[in-house]
Structure 1
Amino acid sequence: MLKRNATLCASAVLLLALAGCASTEPPPKPEMTKVNAVQTEATVTAIDQKKRMVTLKFEDGHSTTFKAGPEVRNLAQVRKGDTVRTSYYESLAVRVEKAAPGAKPSEKVTSDTARAPLGEMPAGVVTNYVDVTAQVTALDRSRALATLKGPRGNLVDVKVRDPSTLDNVKVGDMVNVTYTESLAIEVERTAKK
Structure 2
Amino acid sequence: MINRKLIIAAALVCVANTGFAQTEAPVTVKSEPGKVTATSTVKTTSTVVSIEPGTRTVVLKDAKGKVVQVVVGEEARNFDQIKVGDVVKVEYSQALTMMLKKGNAPLTANETQTLERAPEGAKPGGSASRQVTIMANVIAVDHQSGVVTLKGPQGNTVDLAVQDPEQLKRIKKGDQIQAVYTEAVAIAVEPVAGK
1:91 — aligned with what? 95
Q: Deviations over 1:159-191 (max 9, x none)?
A: 79x97xx5xx63222221101111111111131
Aligned length: 159
Aligned counterparts of 2:96 and 2:52: Cα–Cα separation in 1: 39
Aligned counterparts of 2:162 and 2:40: Cα–Cα separation in 1: 16
1:174 aligns with 2:179: no
Out of 64, 67, 70, the residue aligned to residue 60 of structure 1 is: 64
1:46 aligns with 2:42: no
1:156 aligns with 2:160: yes
The CA deviation at 1:114 is 1.0
The answer to whether the 8 Å contact 1:31/1:96 transfers is yes
The answer to whether the 8 Å contact 2:76/2:117 transfers is no
| More divergent stretch after superposition (51-60 vs 150-159) | 150-159
Out of 16, 23, 29, the residue aligned to residue 12 of structure 2 is: 16
Higher RCO, Cα 8 Å, sep 6+: 1
Aligned counterparts of 1:14 and 1:83: Cα–Cα separation in 2: 20
What pairs up with 1:69-148 in 2 under 5 angstroms? 69-98=73-102, 100=104, 103-104=106-107, 107-136=109-138, 137-138=140-141, 147=148
The CA deviation at 1:123 is 1.4
Q: Do the aligned partners of residues 135 and 100 (structure 1) sit closer, same or farther apart at CA in structure 2, a change above 3 Å counting?
A: closer
Taking structure 2 as the reference length, the TM-score comes to: 0.67
Aligned counterparts of 1:14 and 1:188: Cα–Cα separation in 2: 21
Q: Do the aligned partners of residues 158 and 178 (structure 1) sit closer, same or farther apart at CA in structure 2, a change above 3 Å counting?
A: farther
Q: Deviations over 1:49-104 (max 9, x none)?
A: 34322111123322121322211101111100111111110001133334646x45
Question: 4+ runs of 1 displaced by more than 4 Å?
Answer: 98-101
Aligned counterparts of 1:17 and 1:191: Cα–Cα separation in 2: 23
Same amino acid, percent of matched pairs: 29
The answer to whether the 8 Å contact 2:13/2:185 transfers is yes
The CA deviation at 1:132 is 1.6
Q: Do the aligned partners of residues 150 and 181 (structure 1) sit closer, same or farther apart at CA in structure 2, a change above 3 Å counting?
A: farther
Taking structure 1 as the reference length, the TM-score comes to: 0.67
2:39 — aligned with what? 35
The answer to whether the 8 Å contact 2:100/2:175 transfers is no
Aligned counterparts of 1:100 and 1:39: Cα–Cα separation in 2: 40
Q: Deviations over 1:1-20 (max 9, x none)?
A: xxxxxxxxxxxx762339xx
Q: Secondary structure at the match of 1:96?
A: strand
